[in-house]
Structure 1
Amino acid sequence: MAQDIQSEIPDGGRRVALVTGAARGIGLATARRFLAEGWRVALLDIDEERLARTVEDLADPDAVLALPGDVADAATVFAAFETLSRRFGRLDALVNNAGTAVFKPILETTPEEWRRVLDVNLTGPFLCAQAAAPLMSEAGGGAVVNITSISGLRASTLRVAYGTSKAALAHLTRQQAVEFAGLGVRVNAIAPGPVDTAMAKEVHSPEIRADYHDAIPLNRYGLEEEIAEAVFFLCSEKSAYITGQTLAVDGGFDAAGIGLPTLRRDRNR
């Protein structure tokens, strides 16, 4: 399959993706998915030490580029894309995965915490897409995938900054899709539901996990690799007529209404 994808590129070069927040979790799974298809991948992450270990573990120096930096800092973002351009000479896909969260009630969330969450989760994708779109246009077009969240589609307890930032990112996705279409750049979003990431394992108690299982029709957490598959689809030619959309990859979590877990249990009696 990798050969089929690469053969469609006029200059015979390998396609290039940049993934933010790529040192672990969904970002790393996504980077691995691109590499498996023969793409070259740039990994941008604020955790420089973890990023260095990740790149070493990937063990593919010709195809992998480490870009340490904060997506919320404009100078850092544009410098990173310049480095990518010099190294790989093109850009075909951008995955805005980097994110942060604060789990506090509204009345306890500080202005500083609010600003930081919105800076990373909303301003970061804005800046990265600004830097990416011209490079993609030069290569004949490309795709952007913004990682939002099910928390941007429905309100979640203790996630005022996080949920608001992800809801805004869903609208930014539509705005980017409309404006970048003329450049040959498609923009879509993935809204993951509960995913079995390292962070989820740290902060989700057994009781919380049980609650999620009850609320998710498929009755389980998603896998990082399942999110990566959806991302890769939206960056491939198979989604060539899809833009401006948010795809919930959530086991049916967003589709389920209040009381459905009880109805399912009653039905199975």
Structure 2
Amino acid sequence: MSTDVTIPSVPRITTQQSANRSSVIRDNVWRAAVLLALVLLWALLSSMSDLVASPTDSLNALAERFADGSIYRHLNATLQAVAIGFLIAAAIGFPLGYAIGRSKFLGAVFDPIVAGAFAIPRVIFFPILLQIFGVGVGAQSAMAALAAVFPIMVSTTAGVRAINPLLPKLARSLSLSPLQTVTKIYVPAMAPSLMVGIRIGFSIAFINVIIAEFFAARAGLGLLALRAYGMLDLPTMYGIIVLLAAIALAGNLALWAVERRLGNKL
């Protein structure tokens, strides 16, 4: 009777994989070091001035807001406005950017218009949005959509124009339908540009929601921070600022991770 034992093969870690893993670890260490340096600088400034709340006091004040539940209404209003505004911007920006990128006529007509409109501060339209939607999430969402639609549209247009001219010919040779051409040819080729537009669009939508909440809002983290400033409640104000920074950072890191994963697959 045979006594041979089959030893399962162990996947080998290539030099490139090892280098990539080391690079990721090194980058994460440096990111943590930068964050630690910022916290230490913050603590130093708070010890030198009464106008800067310490990190400990700020985080304690933020924790109290979560404990008593007073922050959830404002957090929900901000996140809701960002999500609605960003989705509206994506629903408008992607098809418009695709159409402008595909058509020479539309490109000739709209390229200078979009470039000029991109330079206009969107905040000047907020009084008009207040007249239309009233004070509340509607106006903040419209503000976010108006601001985020341009980077999404511009990045989509650039992505369409950067597509290899052979790819549409390949789609025709394979007798793909227009929908199949978009989903199987254009979208994978445009993915890097689309993700850049999505990340920038999210950041701009988030920023403009907070700005809108400073001007007029019934609820929102921007309004809560402004009220804390008016009451000289510096720990709460700095705590809200930390929360806003954490939300923006988490959202961008998540989108950046998706972008890198798509880049590795393409």
Bigger proportion of residues as helix: 2
Higher Cα radius of gyration: 2
Q: Same fold (TM over 0.5)?
A: no
Is the strand fraction higher in 1 or 2? 1
TM-score in terms of structure 2 length: 0.25
